Structure 1
Amino acid sequence: MLDTLAALPFWQAFLALFASAMVRSNGTYWVGRGAIAGWRRYRGAHGDLTARAERLIHRFGPFAVTLSYLTVGIQTAIHLTAGVVRMPLRWYLPAAVVGSVVWAVLYATVGLAVVQAWLAAEAGSWWGAVVVLAVVAGIVTWVVVRRRAVRPAPSSERPSHSTERSAPLD
């Protein structure tokens, strides 16, 4: 399928990717709208992921939906959560359209180029291998830098835990 998309003109690849993103995200949203009881079971099995998605939805609202298209691993949880919390369609749909457009443009340009480079690397081209390694190195660097930025700085002041008990105040 990826070979077929890569062979298409940009506008056709864009439309196919946009349509698939809209169908997937809206389908997930509507499953969330209709499956509150099932959601509670899902949440029990994936508490951390769904708690992150709920925090993002409550904090950023429609922006969380749009930005979710740039993530891996939490995108489905955000769309499902948007449905469960019954985000109004007047907020969800524009956010989903913008996110789908951004995702389709990125994937139809850079994403398909990476796939083509990967296929070229598999066929024995050194240039394809270099591109794939550069992309992987860039992603690893981004993840490492991001995690270091999120990690709290170690505090030089540690709370002292005295073994002495103070006398009760009367």
Structure 2
Amino acid sequence: MLDWVASLPLWQATIFLFVVVFFRAQLTFWLGKFMRKGLIKSKFGKSGQNAEEKRAGIAALEKYGWPVIPLSFLTVGFQSVVQLGAGFLDWNWLKYTLAALPGYLAWGFIYAFGGLALFRSITNGSIGLLIIALIVAFLVWAVGAVIVKKLRTNG
């Protein structure tokens, strides 16, 4: 589909993919912000809006969670959840964007350098897809366990 990107010099392909991931991640971030606004206005959102536990949890994620944003761009699939979550937690746009810039650059470089081709070759066989699914499931579980542990120690 985007074979013409592979034909570009590395620096041009990296810049093009940087712009692509910038807009995709920003859209996901803003979608999360709009979802939060809708939830807060709903009956469910208003009932728990002022809960101290929620504020402490959000503060803990803001304090410890920003490194997850650029690192998420080194994963497949998990990055969208992180971008959506940052918007849903109502992160400041500038703080989010500054945290994400290294991730945008890394993603653009990795994909321009052939990361997508490597991923496709691994997933062509069903065993490769199973291995990747298990790795992603483990990573999601590990990140969740770390977040829960930090929330319990701070709350």
Asked if these proteins are the same fold (TM beyond 0.5), I'd say yes
The equivalent residue for 1:50 is: none
Q: Output the aligned Cα RMSD.
A: 3.6
Deviations 1:104-137 (CA, angstroms, capped at 9, x unpaired): 111111325538xx7xxxxxxxxxxxxx359977
The CA distance in 2 between the partners of 1:146 and 1:67, in whole Å, is 14
The equivalent residue for 1:5 is: 5
The CA distance in 2 between the partners of 1:146 and 1:28, in whole Å, is 20
- Are 1:98 and 2:102 matched, yes or no? yes
Greater alpha carbon shift after TM alignment, 11-20 vs 32-41: 32-41
The equivalent residue for 2:114 is: 110
User: Secondary structure, in 3 states, of the residue corresponding to 2:114?
Assistant: helix
User: Secondary structure, in 3 states, of the residue corresponding to 1:70?
Assistant: coil
Query: What are the residue-to-residue correspondences of 1:81-160 with 2, within 5 Å?
Result: 81-111=85-115, 113-114=117-118, 132=121
Please tell me whether the aligned partners of residues 2 and 112 of structure 1 are also in contact (alpha carbons under 8 angstroms): no
**Which structure features the higher share of helix residues?**
2
Count matched residues. 123
The equivalent residue for 2:35 is: 35
| Consecutive aligned runs of 4 or more in structure 1 exceeding 3 Å deviation | 37-41, 112-115, 133-151
Aligned residue type for 1:80: L
Q: Residues 107 and 148 (structure 1 numbering): CA distance in 2 closer, same or farther, change over 3 Å? A: closer
Please tell me whether the aligned partners of residues 36 and 84 of structure 1 are also in contact (alpha carbons under 8 angstroms): yes
Q: Residues 88 and 147 (structure 1 numbering): CA distance in 2 closer, same or farther, change over 3 Å? A: closer
Q: Residues 143 and 32 (structure 1 numbering): CA distance in 2 closer, same or farther, change over 3 Å? A: closer
The equivalent residue for 1:21 is: 21
TM-score normalized by structure 2?
0.60
RCO higher in structure (CA 8 A, sep ≥6): 2
Please tell me whether the aligned partners of residues 14 and 109 of structure 2 are also in contact (alpha carbons under 8 angstroms): yes
User: Secondary structure, in 3 states, of the residue corresponding to 2:90?
Assistant: coil
Deviations 1:81-112 (CA, angstroms, capped at 9, x unpaired): 10121112342112211101111111111325
The equivalent residue for 1:79 is: 83
> Which ranges of structure 2 fall in alignment gaps of 5 or more residues?
43-56, 143-155
Please tell me whether the aligned partners of residues 67 and 99 of structure 1 are also in contact (alpha carbons under 8 angstroms): yes
Please tell me whether the aligned partners of residues 68 and 74 of structure 1 are also in contact (alpha carbons under 8 angstroms): yes
The CA distance in 1 between the partners of 2:107 and 2:114, in whole Å, is 10
TM-score normalized by structure 1?
0.55
The CA distance in 1 between the partners of 2:137 and 2:116, in whole Å, is 27
